[in-house]
Structure 1
């Protein structure tokens, strides 16, 4: 009986350790490209539908309404969620994610950059330093898997 209890506990811990959470549209990991390869795949296109795997660098501290994922050369890409239809947990920094949707070449306005900085908990001094729009690759996700 003692061994059965130990076995049951070890199976439960193993299953819990491998748990994934799904947000938005239910997707699979199949065919996901590493985040650092996305910019090259996007190339000159204004947008590109794909599935990406990467590491979360930061998350909106207000309600999980966006996340930044590490790309190449220490850069990050902002990932928002289609029509704000879902959010991700605020405690996923450092975790692996897979997300599916549309990568886009965008220019983010100063007002939006300041809003994102505020959501990230930046100081008023840091927010005041934002004076130029930012050109970047961004992503609008339809679904996210948090590993």
Structure 2
């Protein structure tokens, strides 16, 4: 009886330790890759996001006083270097001036060049000379560049209630 138990134990050990082939997981080419984001302001998602070309078309169809609530992705052209209280996003031949709802949050000052997602309210406004000069000062422009601003201008504006910045893995 002891021999039978010993043989069963050895067989259990041998079969329990056998090498199994494992298949590598392959991912289809069209499968999406999850991206981690830093979130600022309200919690938003990265679905139903317009491209900057689509956003440019939306802005072109707006008149002063019109607003659209939406999300779009674009590259950051410039950020307020005093405290990150505004940023400018690239829109092909134009740019959108982004401010943050109720100044409830601010952006990191070093994100120029990064692609981000913003959610909120798009509108067209006439920016006064004083406001243009204020933003130019915040951006670190010279006194000569600021003095050259002498006319109000129509601008694409966006009040963001949430922003997503992709996290970059440091290696």
* TM-score of the pair, normalised by structure 1: 0.83
Q: Which portions of structure 1, spanning 4 or more consecutive aligned residues, are displaced by more than 4 angstroms?
A: none
Q: 1-side partners of 2:85 and 2:112: how far apart?
A: 14
Which is helix-richer, 1 or 2?
A: 1
| Alignment deviations for residues 105-147 of structure 1 (CA, whole Å, 9 cap, x no partner) | 1011111100000000000000000001110211000000011
State whether structure 2 residue 163 is matched by structure 1 residue 140: no
Q: Which of 148, 151, 164 is the matching residue for 1:129?
A: 148
Deviates more, 1:40-49 or 1:136-145: 40-49
Confirm or deny: 8 A CA contact 1:39 1:137 kept in the other structure.
no
Output the CA distance in 1 between the equivalents of 2:133 and 2:95.
Answer: 17
Contact 1:36 1:71 in 2 (8 A): yes
1:55 aligned to which of 59, 70, 75? 75
Q: Tell me how far apart the structure 2 counterparts of residues 33 and 108 of structure 1 sit (CA, whole Å).
A: 25
Q: 1:25 aligns with which of 42, 45, 50?
A: 42
* Deviations, residues 21-78 of structure 1 (Å, cap 9, x unaligned): 11000101100101222132241352111101011011000000011110022x2111
What's 2:100 paired with? 81
Alignment of 1:90-105 (within 5 A): 90-105=109-124
Question: For this pair of structures, how many residues does the alignment match?
Answer: 129
Task: Give the greater-gyration-radius structure (CA).
Answer: 2
Which residue pairs with 2:23 in the alignment?
none
- The whole-number CA distance in structure 2 between the counterparts of 1:29 and 1:60 is 24
TM-score by length of 2: 0.72
For 1:113 and 1:36, the matched residues in 2 are separated by 25
Please tell me whether residue 116 in structure 1 is matched to residue 135 in structure 2.
Answer: yes
Gaps of 5+ in 2: 1-34, 167-171
Q: Which runs of 5 or more residues in structure 1 are unaligned?
A: 1-17
Q: Which has the higher strand share?
A: 1
Contact 1:36–1:70 (8 Å) recurs in 2: no
